[in-house]
Amino acid sequence: MELRDKRIAVTGAGQGLGRAISIALAARGAQLALIDLAAEALEESATLCRQAGGGASCHIVDISSPE
């Protein structure tokens, strides 16, 4: 599946399944908005995504909070 130039937001992207999904999407050329609470882990995920061939921006957000 070609995802070049598609923009995708991934929550929980700092580790585990969220990180794995992010890297898989990046490998297909997606531009990703990575979302998590852990800044350092999020930066690591972004680096891995860029190495896989996609673009990545980091967003520290608590999606469980309505504010």
pLDDT digit string, tens, across residues 3-44 = 888 999 999 999 999 999 999 999 999 999 999 999 999 999
The confidence score (pLDDT) of residue 38 equals: 95
Burial 6-29 (b: 16+ CB within 10 A, else e): eebebebbbeeebbebbbebbeeb
Cα 2 versus chain centre, distance = 17
SS3 59: strand
Each domain of the chain, given as residue ranges in start order, spans 7-60
pTM > 0.75: yes
Question: H or E element: which one contains 26?
Answer: helix 16-27
User: Per-residue pLDDT averaged across 48-53, rounded?
Assistant: 97
Q: How far apart are CA 12 and CA 29, in angstroms?
A: 20
**pLDDT bracket for residue 66 (50, 70, 90):** confident
The confidence score (pLDDT) of residue 49 equals: 97
pLDDT reading at 55 higher than 80: yes
